[in-house]
Amino acid sequence: MAISIRNANSTDLSWITSLLREGSDQGHFAPTVNQQASHIVTYILNNGKIQMMKVRDGGLRPVTIPAYIKVAEFDGKPASFLLCLVESNEIELHLAGTIKSQRNKNCFRRLVANEVHNNPGASRIYARCYEKSTYAKAAFEKEGFEVTKDGDPNELTFRRSISPPAAAKKSHERHQLISIKTLRNWIENIFRR
């Protein structure tokens, strides 16, 4: 039972669109996602970006933002997707969904962990979750995200801490010093005899 991550392609259009519509109908996404699902996915797959309305200069303005979609496969079959937006060195984990029969297999968490791992230089990695999306919110929190803005949706931001490699390096250095002292004592004891 293996999970693998890949870029989305045109063969994913149907099931991703279906999950977006279902999620919108259930209140996990804004209602407009239902009508725009197919267009959103197709545009990103073909152009590597998305056009949307955002608040700019005190009003709503159309903007074009680089975007991509990742897919988690479970035993070689599509299970979950994650649509990401890249703006000003920030990564927004914008929309996601998991096929019902593939839930509780950690595919979504693996996608989130993959984005965090592959974007160490991002100034911020964040997501927004509606209150109804308790599973997604819990998965983000398990991957090191914290609620940074209350509301509906909540905003969750990845909290960077000392990375495991840095912590491991400090531990290794401490063990190296102990080993050198031990070795020095051992050598001194040999020459005293």
Co-location of 143 and 169 in the same domain: no
pLDDT at 1: 72
Cα dihedral across residues 5, 6, 11, 15: positive or negative: positive
Co-location of 125 and 74 in the same domain: yes
Domain that includes residue 25, residue range: 3-161
pLDDT at 123: 95
Say how many domains are in the chain. 2
Phi, psi of 85 (to 5 degrees): -115, 140
> Is pLDDT of 76 > 50?
yes
Give 125-184 pLDDT, tens digit per residue: 999 998 889 999 999 999 999 999 998 889 999 997 644 444 444 434 434 444 455 545
Co-location of 153 and 166 in the same domain: no
Co-location of 169 and 156 in the same domain: no
Co-location of 70 and 100 in the same domain: yes
CATH number of the domain that residue 102 is part of: 3.40.630.30
Q: 115: buried, middle or exposed (CB in 10 Å: 19+, 13-18, 0-12)?
A: buried
Co-location of 141 and 58 in the same domain: yes
Co-location of 182 and 110 in the same domain: no
CA distance 50 to 32: 15
Phi, psi of 11 (to 5 degrees): -70, -15
| Strand, coil or helix: 91 | strand
Co-location of 148 and 189 in the same domain: no
**Is residue 43 a contact partner of residue 59, using CB atoms and an 8 Å limit?**
no
Co-location of 105 and 185 in the same domain: no
Give 113-135 pLDDT, tens digit per residue: 999 999 999 999 999 998 889 99
